[in-house]
Structure 1
Amino acid sequence: MKVNNLQKTIDGQAILEEINFSLNPQEIVGLVGRNGSGKTTLFRTLAGHYLLDGGEVTIAGMDLAKAVEQKTQLFYIDELDNFLKYYSLKKINEFYRLAYPKFDQDRYLALLKENEFHQRMSYRRLSKGMQGLYQMILAISSEANYLLLDEPFDGLDVIVRKKVIALLLDHLATHENCSIMIASHNLVELEGIIDRVLLLKGKSIVKDYSLEQMREHARKLQLVFRRKGVPAFVKEQAKLLSIQGRVVTVIFEEYTPELADQLKALEPVVMEELPLSLEDLFEANLRQEKMGSQGGKV
């Protein structure tokens, strides 16, 4: 799937502008952004719940706006506005078998039995966690190649969350054409399973990180300098996480031996490398404040 220059306006207000990214087979991509940044709007637009106001979404080179049959390659449940709550699991199953030609009924029934669901159950009477688990069973049974999952871990206890993640990873391992995109505020959980992360800020995708490359090239450092203030070189090259007195914690996204030598030339009293997490990248990139408020870019 490729998204080219996607734009979406709602009630005269631009929500998404110049959105560009691709989803590759056998990949889990995290979509990260602050509340109200447009993550759900992006999913709704990709799934066709909203019409595009610009750009295009293509699958196998075919524009989804024209090749509507390709929409069966996408799976998305709008958590805030879905029809599932009005029906039994049996009726929901009937809907999805009609909507997805390759729906794997045998696997669906096996997973229901394994997780003690019954077709006569009412969706609305399931707990929040069991609703989340059932949605995951629908997603992987649909046999869609692109699974768009909006906050799939929200409200799940640790046992159900592990089941959901295990289902996802097992499905991806056995479906070579499958791609999964997850929007989640649970960055710790997300970091353990994704291959890439897209940072949504200011209506656009501002960063597209490969976590493997990020771990190889980026560094989180704690620095202490003899003089007050942050040296100009650090301001230009790093992103700030915190300042406490003379202790400065920063992220260098492209940390090279040459950059390390330049830092050492500043003769910091302390120069210590710390573990770098997805949460650190989120905080460094998505803060709105400037350095004077101890946020934003140094």
Structure 2
Amino acid sequence: MIEIKNLNFAYRKKSHLFDDLNLSVAPGSICGLLGKNGAGKTTLLKILTGLLFPKSGSVSISGQNPSDRLPETLKEIYMVPEEFFLPTLTVREYARLYAPFYPRFNNDRLMAHLPNFELPENDKLSSLSYGQKKKFLIAFGLATDSHLLLLDEPTNGLDIPSKSQFRKILASSLTDDRTFIISTHQVRDMGNLIDPIIILDNGKIIFHESVESVNRKLSVRILPEIPENETVLYSEKMLDRFVIVSPNSDGEETKMDIELLFNTVILNREKIESLFTKESNHEA
């Protein structure tokens, strides 16, 4: 379980990034942490790993503060960063060096992921392309069997087939005691993978809902024109038609596109907050 309460963080005294940020994430989920560039997604992941320290507030991962940098905490956290360095080692040499930090590391699982990601076994990691290096780190992270896997822009540098394979492998690797958090601004790459959906904007978590809740409370339709006599939360021109996002008034669920949802929340935050708060209170 991840619990963040009243988190405050700033890189400089006069520039606060997070102001009283709160977040709770249960295990057994692949969370999508969405936000515009510069929203603080990478910073939040680094705070969860204990690489950055909050000004105030609390961060707890299974009851432990990652800032304490205790081995029993860090062995359960693995992060695939967007920017990284890989040494001049082969896959097996790298695993021999770094696997001991993770007691449940599964070398057979790592080796099984190599052909799935079309990765060479004997080449030096430093000689691989950026996308290949990224796929190796993802494979290694999954093989650690750590309870918390953080992936910062994991699809950057991946081609279309690799993105599809990434989604399949990640989904098949999830267990009830693991939590995957994917930070990205490339929301279309996530497909049907992420649930719940978390949106970070202006130092706050402004949206945190399950896919089921989104599909129940919002409706997406393709219409020849924008309706004049109903609430339209977001619209987008598509050739000679419009994609319309509106409150779900008839109870018929539709499948929400993640990019449409993101744009709707960012551009119409107050109405979205009101809609979901009202519905939650009604259900309670």
Q: Give unmatched runs, 5+ long, in structure 2.
A: 275-284
Contact map agreement 1:30 1:181 (CA 8 A) in 2? yes
**Structure 1 CA distance for aligned equivalents of residues 17 and 88 of structure 2:** 30
Is 2:184 the counterpart of 1:184? Answer: yes
Partner of 1:133: 135
**Structure 1 CA distance for aligned equivalents of residues 8 and 87 of structure 2:** 31
**Structure 2 CA distance for aligned equivalents of residues 33 and 20 of structure 1:** 16
Is 2:79 the counterpart of 1:76? Answer: yes
Deviations 1:162-181 (A, max 9, x none): 22222211111xx3211111
Q: Give unmatched runs, 5+ long, in structure 1.
A: 226-230, 259-272, 290-296
TM-aligned CA distance change 1:116 to 1:205, over 3 Å: closer
TM-aligned CA distance change 1:224 to 1:108, over 3 Å: closer
Is 2:263 the counterpart of 1:283? Answer: yes
Partner of 1:105: 107
**Structure 2 CA distance for aligned equivalents of residues 249 and 162 of structure 1:** 25
Contact map agreement 1:130 1:160 (CA 8 A) in 2? no
TM-aligned CA distance change 1:279 to 1:116, over 3 Å: closer
Contact map agreement 2:234 2:246 (CA 8 A) in 1? no
AA of the residue aligned to 1:220: V
Is 2:253 the counterpart of 1:256? Answer: no
Partner of 1:201: 201
Partner of 1:218: 218
Relative to the length of structure 2, the TM-score reads 0.80
Secondary structure of the residue aligned to 2:67 is: coil
AA of the residue aligned to 2:75: T
AA of the residue aligned to 1:251: V
Partner of 1:60: 62
> Superposition pairs for residues 157-176 of structure 1, below 5 Å?
157-172=159-174, 175-176=175-176
Instruction: Give the Å deviation of 1:77.
Output: 2.6
Contact map agreement 1:102 1:143 (CA 8 A) in 2? yes
Instruction: Give the Å deviation of 1:189.
Output: 2.6
Structure of greater Rg: 1
Secondary structure of the residue aligned to 2:23 is: strand
Residues paired across the two proteins, number? 262
**Structure 2 CA distance for aligned equivalents of residues 275 and 160 of structure 1:** 24
Deviations 1:48-79 (A, max 9, x none): 11112122221222333347221221110322
**Structure 1 CA distance for aligned equivalents of residues 21 and 109 of structure 2:** 35
TM-aligned CA distance change 1:91 to 1:19, over 3 Å: farther
Relative to the length of structure 1, the TM-score reads 0.76
